[in-house]
Amino acid sequence: MARRMTLLAMGLTLLGAAACGQAAAPGRPLAAAAPVAVAAPAVPHPTPAPRPVTADAATKVAAQVGPFVPNELGEIPILEIHNVASPESRWEITPANLRAIVANLYASGFRPVTFRDVVERRIDIPRGFAPVVLSFDDGDPSQFQWAPGGQGTTPAANSAVGILWNFHLAHPSWAAAASFYVNQNPFGGDSAAKIKWLVAHGFEVGDHTMNHVDMSKLDAAQMLYQVGGLAAWVQNTVPGYHVSTLAYPYGFSRNMPATAWTGSINGQSYHIQGALLVAGNPAPSPYSKAWNPLAVPRIQVADPSTVQRVSDRALVWSAWEPRLLANHGAELYVSDGKPGTVTILPGEQAQLAANVPPASVVVGK
């Protein structure tokens, strides 16, 4: 744990300094409020829309058992990806590399969920598999283009969405699940149709502010416009859908106005229940007392040779990947396959969050 905390602190102050490769203020660290309570959403989230029915649901794969021992207090890797393009650089990964990352995760016993699934404690994957979240920031055009002749229906094979969708079609037990954190007018055009397609096919669309701004510097009205405006646009575009998570473009502070989490604008109310940091480590379990839904760490996907500080290179996915994939799940969140129970390892009861119903807890062997 001590090692993890040290790395987390490094990630927050160093990797956070150049979040997303866009106009980051040089040297500005992610506000160093560590994972302690920031602000609680003032209004409970409405009943979430049911997960859309996808092609996968109709052909739900018969219950498989994964390679790991159930441990629902383990950690969850949340990958942070920006552009999908060549050549590989600080904020670009190649289509081939994204395919390889997904294939490695799949073969190693991981299954994708959205960040929303984690926040809402709805990690619904078969027993013995480990959840992973793929998150994509900034709505770059390279994340979602239509295939030639497939306008409105088929994502381009080399776009991020196309890579994930085609992998799902070829491997139905790899769900169509990932979280896309967008700004206004994402994906280089035809934005509304692409947002609708994502939601209709099981993906999450989350909030990255209207203009990719530093939320730690906004007053209440600016926050309403930036966070609420983006959420309202998504919700007006996809009736019945509720934006419930965000990714901080740079950082946050403990004193942000309540409009960061809830408000009403443009005919929509919004309720943010979870928020992602720009760097760090695997995330705590949502059942753990270490879990803070408004400060959840992520692992950046980047070629380590493009990361300026040598010490930061230990924080990127290519450094974490062999450790997480090779340790046979020892520190990972591993599903027990039963949404109604929380299976933990012996002796770890003290790590449970106070609001986990005791009757739902199963101590494994």
Residues at the interface with Zn ion (CB under 5 A): 20, 137-138, 249
- Structure token pair of residue 206: 């989350």
Q: CA-CA distance, 36 to 170, in Å (whole number)? A: 41
Report the relative pairing of strands 299-300 and 78-81 from DSSP bridges. Answer: parallel
Minimum Å distance from CB 139 to Zn ion? Answer: 9
Nearest residue relative to Zn ion (C-beta):
20
Query: What are the φ/ψ torsions at residue 3 (nearest 5 degrees)?
Result: -60, -45
Q: How many CB atoms lie within 10 A of CB 121?
A: 17
Residues 183 and 156 sit within 8 Å (Cβ to Cβ): no
Q: How far is the CB of 137 from Zn ion (least distance, A)?
A: 4
Q: What is the DSSP string of 204-248?
A: EEEE--SS---GGG--HHHHIIIIIHHHHHHHHHSTT----EEE-
- Between 10 and 246, whose beta carbon lies closer to Zn ion? 246
Complex with Zn ion: residue 23 or 37, whichever CB lies closer: 23
Q: Shortest approach of Zn ion to residue 212 CB, angstroms?
A: 6
Nearer to Zn ion, 91 or 291 (CB): 91
Q: Shortest distance, CB of residue 82 to Zn ion, whole angstroms?
A: 7
- Residue labelled with tokens 């990797």: 15
Residue 15 and residue 10: Cα distance in Å, rounded?
7
Q: Closest separation between CB of residue 249 and Zn ion, Å? A: 5
Q: Which is nearer to Zn ion, 135 or 343 (CB)?
A: 135
Residue closer to Zn ion (CB basis): 137 or 312: 137
Minimum CB separation from Zn ion for residue 81, in Å? 11
183: nearest Cα among 165, 172, 195: 195
Q: Which residue has the tokens 């081939």?
A: 96
Shortest distance, position 145 Cβ to Zn ion, whole Å: 19
Neighbouring CB atoms inside 10 A of 45's CB total 18
User: Is the four-CA dihedral 311, 317, 322, 327 of positive or negative sign?
Assistant: positive
